[in-house]
Structure 1
C-alpha cells in the first residue's frame, strides 16, 4: 500500500486515557474518541498494572476494535506509553490487546513518545517562531521537545505525569501546602536534570489544555463541576497544573500556544507517511 491513499487507525494508550483516531484516505477525521481508563492506577507504587485497570482498558479496546472494523482501515498502530513501560506485567496487557484488536501494542520509548508528540503538535501550526519547545503533560510522564524544523533536535521524557504526581504526593483533597511543596520539589528536580531548557523556547506549545492556580486549591468534586474539564481528569489535573507552572517559570515566553493535536495525531500521520 506504500504510495497509495490509505485509511488508518491510531490508538494512543497512556496512563490515564486511551484515544482512537481514524483518518480517511484524504487524511480527514472519520472517528476521534477518548476514554478515561486510568491504566496506570497505582503503577508508580506497585510496579504492576492493576487488574481493574486492565479490565477498564480492555473494555475500551473492544469498543475501538468495533469502530476500526466498521471503517475498514488499511493500517493500525497501537502505541502504549508510560504506564506500560513501567509495568512488570506488561505482557498480560499486550496479550489482551492482541486478542481483542488483532495487533500487538508497541510500548514506545520516552524518546519515541516525545518525537510523536512533536509531530502531532507542530504539524497543524505552521510558521511558529523558533526555537520551539513542545510540552506534553501526560498521566505518567511529561515530555519536553526542542526543535526548529520538521523533526525535533532534542527530546526528553520525565516521570512527572499528573497521575503519578497525584498518587505520589497529592493525597489530600484539596492538597495540603506540604503536599504541594513536595510535588513541586519533585517536578523541579526532574526539570533540573532535563536536557531540554524551556528558557530556550521562543514559542512554547502545550498539548495538555488550560490549567490555572485555582485548580490546585479546589477539591476533586469542585473541579468536576468545571464545564471545560473532563470529569475523569478532575482528581489529577492539579498535579498537571503544577508541572505546567514550573515549566512556565523557567521559560521566557509571554504566552502558551495550545495545540489541539498531540501524540495521537503523530501516530496517525506516521501510518500515512510510512
Structure 2
C-alpha cells in the first residue's frame, strides 16, 4: 500500500483550549491596520470600522442610526435644534465605539444637509467642540466618486462586454448619478460625468407630504425627476450605450436594498444575500405598485420597512422609478455599500501607495483611485 508521507507538523496536536493558528495569509490580514469611517447623511449617521481583507473589506464593527438631520430643512433652510441634538448623540456614540479600537486612521464626512443648511458649518464646528470629531463637508462630486469606489469590485466583476457603468445613490437630501468608463484589463474605472439631484427621500417626503401616496402626486414626482435625468442623458448619450447593451446599472441606497429584500421574500433583512445581487427591474416596479396600493398603514406593517421608514420608502421608489424608466434595463445590480466603504478603501489604498516602493506600479486589488479629470 502506498502511503502519503505527512509533514511533521501534521502529526502535532494542539494542546486543549488553544485554537490552531490561522494560515499565514489570514494572519497577515488580521494584523492589517484598522480604519474607521463616518458618513453623516441627511437621514442617517453611519460608522464602519474595518481593515483590508482577502477580497475587500473585513468589517470589524458598525453602527447606524436614523438621526433625520435634515428634518424641516426644506421649509426653514436651517438644521433644527432637535435634529442637531439627535445627531450629536449619535456622533458621541460613534466616537465612544471608535475608542474601543486601536485605529490607524479615520475620516468623517457630511453631505447634503450640511451643504444646504445656512447653519451647516456652525453645526460642524459644534460637533468638533463637543466630540472632537473633525467632519469634512464633501462636494456632490466626491459623493459620486466615493460611491463608485465602494462599488469597485461590482464594476470590475460585471457582465463581460460592458464598458460603462451607471450608478445611482438615493440619499436623504440628494440623489447622486455617476457615469463611469470601465477598463477591466487595467482594473480601473474613470468618472466620465455626474449629476447631483437636490431630491432625496426626506426632501421629497417634506415637500409632498401625503400627496406622495396618491397616484397624481407619485407620478408627478416621477415625471419631475425624469425631466432632469433626460437632460443628463442628452449630454452623455447614456441611452445610446444602453441600446448597445454596453451599460451596467448599479443602485446603492436603502430604497434599492429594501426592494431587493422584498423581491427575495425575506422576513428579515439579510445583507449577505443582497449585496451584489441582481434585481429584476420589472419585478421591482411590480413591488412598488404593491407597496403603493397598501398605503401608509401597509408600509408600517411591513417587517422590512416598519414605522420609522414608512414615510420615506415611496419617495425613494419614485426616484428609483424615474431612473429605471429613463434608462430602461432588465436588471440593476444591488450594492449594500456606500460612502463609508469608499472612504475606508481610499484610506487603505493611500496607505498601500505610501508604503510601496517608488518604482512599483500602483495596485488596484482593493481600490481604484478615480481620475479627477472628467473625460468626455
Same fold at TM > 0.5: yes
Distance in 2 separating the partners of 1:54 and 1:131: 40
Pair 196,14 (structure 1): closer, same or farther in 2 beyond 3 Å: farther
SS at match of 1:19: strand
Distance in 1 separating the partners of 2:306 and 2:48: 18
Find the partner of 1:12 among 23, 39, 55: 39
Q: Deviations over 1:57-92 (max 9, x none)?
A: 111101111110111212111111111110000123
TM-score by length of 2: 0.67
User: 1:177-188, aligned counterparts within 5 Å?
Assistant: 177-188=215-226
> Is structure 2 residue 182 aligned with structure 1 residue 145?
no
Contact 1:174 1:220 in 2 (8 A): no
User: 1:75-90, aligned counterparts within 5 Å?
Assistant: 75-90=105-120
Q: Deviations over 1:202-244 (max 9, x none)?
A: 2101112243222334333421322222643221110110111
After TM superposition, give the deviation of residue 5 of structure 1 in Å: 4.5
Contact 1:47 1:87 in 2 (8 A): yes
Find the partner of 1:163 among 191, 202, 209: 202
> Is structure 2 residue 52 aligned with structure 1 residue 22?
no
Pair 224,198 (structure 1): closer, same or farther in 2 beyond 3 Å: farther
Find the partner of 1:241 among 317, 325, 329: 317
The answer to which structure, 1 or 2, has the higher relative contact order (CA under 8 A, 6+ apart) is: 1
**Residue 207 of structure 1: aligned partner:** 252
Q: Which structure has the larger Rg?
A: 2
Q: Point out the more displaced range, 34-43 or 123-132.
A: 123-132
Q: How many residues are aligned here? A: 270
Distance in 2 separating the partners of 1:206 and 1:197: 19
SS at match of 2:100: helix
Find the partner of 1:193 among 213, 217, 231: 231
Q: Deviations over 1:113-148 (max 9, x none)?
A: 111111112335532133111111111111111113
Q: Point out the more displaced range, 239-248 or 258-267.
A: 258-267
* C-alpha RMSD of the superposition: 2.1
> Is structure 2 residue 133 aligned with structure 1 residue 103?
yes
Distance in 1 separating the partners of 2:94 and 2:296: 29
**Residue 38 of structure 1: aligned partner:** 68
After TM superposition, give the deviation of residue 182 of structure 1 in Å: 3.0
Q: Point out the more displaced range, 190-199 or 264-273.
A: 190-199
Q: Point out the more displaced range, 129-138 or 80-89.
A: 129-138
Pair 183,237 (structure 1): closer, same or farther in 2 beyond 3 Å: same
**Residue 302 of structure 2: aligned partner:** 226
List structure 1 runs of 4+ shifted beyond 4 angstroms.
195-198
TM-score by length of 1: 0.90
Distance in 1 separating the partners of 2:49 and 2:329: 34
After TM superposition, give the deviation of residue 152 of structure 1 in Å: 1.9
SS at match of 1:193: helix
Contact 1:9 1:76 in 2 (8 A): yes
Contact 1:15 1:138 in 2 (8 A): yes
Distance in 1 separating the partners of 2:175 and 2:58: 28
**Residue 48 of structure 1: aligned partner:** 78
**Residue 97 of structure 2: aligned partner:** 67
Distance in 1 separating the partners of 2:297 and 2:86: 22
Q: Point out the more displaced range, 144-153 or 51-60.
A: 144-153
Find the partner of 2:123 among 72, 93, 104: 93
Pair 58,220 (structure 1): closer, same or farther in 2 beyond 3 Å: farther
Q: Point out the more displaced range, 173-182 or 110-119.
A: 173-182
